[in-house]
């Protein structure tokens, strides 16, 4: 039996990057996946890849900054599958490389709405169905920026720190309901790292900060950790900040 067989997972921000890699990894592990993002055409491409694993896939256009879209996401999941076992809060809309004093209201509102409020709402929307089945895995994607106070990450760092805060509270409040809540700090090649490398911060500089000496790959280094966190293998782990970062934040 595959690790996630007979499980239903919702993954936000699934049109590319970590969300895409997670969806494919979950499908390979046997899970039915609900993938959402603002670009439906990209979701359909990813849905096709996931369906090749013999699982059911439900792509849903969803702007996580709109509460009604989140409610529709969970409603469609329940209508189609009758349950939700795993929630991966991955989506965020933000802008890095901006000093605190240069932050605009738009950057503030978009980051807070997509990166914190969406996580808050989806956790609460999925909770009753996880409680009903006395099992659930909530995984919130965090960031090392929230640990080290990275310059230029302003509200993004604050939001990611806040996400882990509510993750710990939910772990305490929902443990008796069979629900685990953890956050993941990953380091991997992404749109963000590519933007950093296009500036003054080089790829070699980033590698020098990582004890294992390389930047993670979504499919090889990060997605398998998420599969573990979503599976019964992690049933005694909750309220934790798990780092899949090659040791980059080992001293924090």
Strands 57-61 and 179-186: unpaired
State the average pLDDT for the chain. 91
Look up 129 and say whether it is catalytic. no
Cβ contacts of 193 within 8 Å, gap of 6 or more = 203, 206, 215
> For position 214, what pLDDT does the model report?
92
Question: What percentage of the chain reaches a pLDDT higher than 70?
Answer: 94
Whether 119 has a pLDDT exceeding 90, the answer reads yes
CA triple 174-177-178, angle to 5 deg = 100
Residue 124: pLDDT band (50, 70, 90) is: very high
Please, are residues 232 and 6 in contact by the beta-carbon 8 Å criterion?
A: no
Whether 200 has a pLDDT exceeding 90, the answer reads no
The one catalytic residue in 156, 189, 214, 236 is: 156
- The counts of H helices and E strands in the chain are 10, 7
Whether 195 has a pLDDT exceeding 70, the answer reads no
Please, are residues 123 and 177 in contact by the beta-carbon 8 Å criterion?
A: no
Q: At what angle do helices 40-51 and 17-28 cross, to 10 degrees?
A: 30
Q: What is the pLDDT of residues 33-81, one digit of tens each?
A: 999 999 999 999 999 999 999 999 999 999 999 999 999 999 999 999 9
| Domains contained in the chain, CATH given | 8-244 (3.40.50.720)
170/119 Cα distance (integer angstroms): 12
Please, are residues 25 and 49 in contact by the beta-carbon 8 Å criterion?
A: no
- Residues shown for the chain: 252
Please, are residues 48 and 79 in contact by the beta-carbon 8 Å criterion?
A: no
Which range, 135-149, 175-189, 193-207, is most confident?
A: 175-189
């Amino acid at each position: 039996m595959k690790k996630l067989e007979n499980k239903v997972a919702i993954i936000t921000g699934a049109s590319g990057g970590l969300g895409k890699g997670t969806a494919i990894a979950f499908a390979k592990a046997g899970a039915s996946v609900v993938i959402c993002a603002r670009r439906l055409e990209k979701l359909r491409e990813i849905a096709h890849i996931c369906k090749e694993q013999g699982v059911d896939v439900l792509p849903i256009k969803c702007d996580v900054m709109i509460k009604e879209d989140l409610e529709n996401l969970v409603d469609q999941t329940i209508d189609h599958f009758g349950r939700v076992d795993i929630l991966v809060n991955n989506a965020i809309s933000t802008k890095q490389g901006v000093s605190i004093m240069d932050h605009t209201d738009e950057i503030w509102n978009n980051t807070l709405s997509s990166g914190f409020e969406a996580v808050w709402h989806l956790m609460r929307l999925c909770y009753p169905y996880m409680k009903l089945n006395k099992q659930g895995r909530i995984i919130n994607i965090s960031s090392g920026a929230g640990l080290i106070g990275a310059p230029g990450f302003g509200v993004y760092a604050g939001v990611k720190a806040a996400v882990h805060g509510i993750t710990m509270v939910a772990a305490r409040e929902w443990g008796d309901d069979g629900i685990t809540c953890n956050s993941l700090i990953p380091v991997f090649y992404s749109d963000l790292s590519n933007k950093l490398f296009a500036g003054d911060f080089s790829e070699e500089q980033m590698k020098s900060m990582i004890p294992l000496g390389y930047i993670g790959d979504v499919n090889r280094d990060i997605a398998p950790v998420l599969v573990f966190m979503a599976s019964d293998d992690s049933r005694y782990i909750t309220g934790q900040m798990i780092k899949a970062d090659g040791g980059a934040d080992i001293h924090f």
